[in-house]
A and B are shown apart, each in its own frame.
Chain A
Amino acid sequence: MRLELAGIEARHPAARTGLPPALKKLDLKLAAGEQVAVIGPSGAGKTTLLQVAAASLPPAAGALRIDGDDPWALSGRARQRLRGRLFLAPQTPPLPPRQRVVTAVLAGRLPAIGFWESLRSLFYPSDIAGAHAALTHFDLADKLFERVDRLSGGERQRVGLARTLLSPASLWLIDEPLSALDPTRARQAISALLLAAEERRATVLATLHQVDTALEMFPRIVGLRQGRVVFDLARGEVGQRHLADLYAQHEDELGGPAPAADGEADGPRPVAMHCR
């Protein structure tokens, strides 16, 4: 899937008015099947960029084209259908704590199947083999029937990535996929993800905190700082000078450990009971 952002300005819906927008006049073009990593210091607008690209956050200005279509010019129904062809994986894996891994992974397939089929799959998982194969890519095959709240933070993050493999999407927008993983696991997970994307000819746009992993795995690197594209280069062309500029005043994040995702699930909340 092609992705095209031209002159995009966007601010987070919860941001106070008067603050500068998170993205300023941002231009970015991805050809079908491209694999691009977005790096940059915290607060650069990486997550907002993914939300805009996922047709989840309407841009304040500029044009968004997904495969040539402007999602915000479509009807609500057509836009929701278009969302089914992209996949936005948030940094904290969105998994209900009491759900089983197999169900959580198969939830990636929801846009492709009808309502009754998805209901039937809750009684007996419709594609156990597919879920198993996806989990195998991330070394989690033994957790297939485990409950999500029995998993560690890193395992949950990999379950979230396994869900990507089952989605019918051909544009994958992945936010900090490695934040809760140790370096070895991170490398393994990202290469499994990119390989699967290549097989499916899916376009990948991922934000990453680990600069070295990005440089090693992704053919094209975009540096984002204060809502602007600082550089947009092939892997080999990114030099120390680029990185130093990108992370000026944020040197601790360059090569430092990524901030841990708060993947801890909270237990059941007390419910207010009213009765007379």
Chain B
Amino acid sequence: MAQTLSEQILSRAAGRPVSAGEVVTVNVDLVMMHDSLSPSIIRVLHEELGAERVWDPQRVAVVIDHVAPAASVQTAEKQAEVRRWVRAQGIAHLFDVGRGISHPVLVEEGLARPGMVIVGSDSHSTAYGCVGAFGTGMGTTDIALAAATGRTWFRVPETVLVRARGRFRPGVSAKDLALKAARLLRADGATYAAVEWHGVEFLSVMERMTLATLSIEVGAKAGIVPPTGLLQTIPEWLRVEEGARYSRVVEIDLDDLEPQVSAPHTVDNVTDLRDLGRVAVDVVYLGTCTNGHYEDMAAAARILRGRRLAPGVRMLVVPASAQALQMAAEDGTLATLLAAGATIGTPGCGACIGRHMGVLAPGEVCLFTGNRNFRGRMGSPEARIYLASPEVAAATALTGYITHPQEVVEARYAEP
């Protein structure tokens, strides 16, 4: 019987054919944990589960990205503890301060690969779907169990298919597709299900990560882009099968898609930017595993080139990874961003969790390229967060209010 990508991957991991609705125990290929939850994972692993060692030190990755560099003595101490533990366990993959956010880093390092089951202590672990892996987020105890045993359990998810047709218009990108899907599916539209994103094979791996990370914002267990057109070796058993069953199909026409904005305080509170009205902003923040990639910085730089931020607007750029920052430094993207008046933070999660590097004050408005605009997410519960693409972020930085990219591009051509 034809299977969805999730069914194919979980069948291999379970060692038998499985289909949606079954509860299965599977082998995991990779366990990721980050600095924020590692101290508690380590405690559960040793003290509650009584395990002495992780099941396979080659298949555990530890990433210091959530508060990187440390912002306080406590976080510094806990990070030091995590590093000691990594050494004691002989864990092969530690990505320390400045290497970047776990999700792009594990893809860049070739650790996240097509067909794998990857569990991470971060809800945006759906990200690994960008290379055709079944990636999913879990809490402290589930990650401790997976790290101790190399196994976990799942209810095999049904799959919601998002099928894109056509090509983006100028100024429109993967974020707009993802927000449009959130608008149609709503915050709970794929709860307990997986999302497959079809018709997007023209996107780069990191653009696919934009779609995969936002899959959790419609409740999904995994968000998988079929692994076509990648450099990685694709297992021959992993491919979209004719006749696979989808619990719901959503069609989105990219030729007509307008820039989308998610207004406070839920991700699915999405409108066309044109219908938003005039929203003045204090901060433009470009970063995160959703839209802090090289492609995102380059898209912003194309709009900012030769121009300056609007008076009174701050623009923070926090690259998703050191590799993205390096690429931006090498091709002049970084110089363009700096010349426009933006500033650069250490690659990592930055202010996305409201802990450091750009926390918002009461009353402030932020245009954010990230994935959550929950009240209080980036600091004060009295701040307001709008989610949009890097192109909208750059246009907004130039005008000081949430702006359609086309507006500033046209203004550039109209200049004498």
A and B physically associate: no
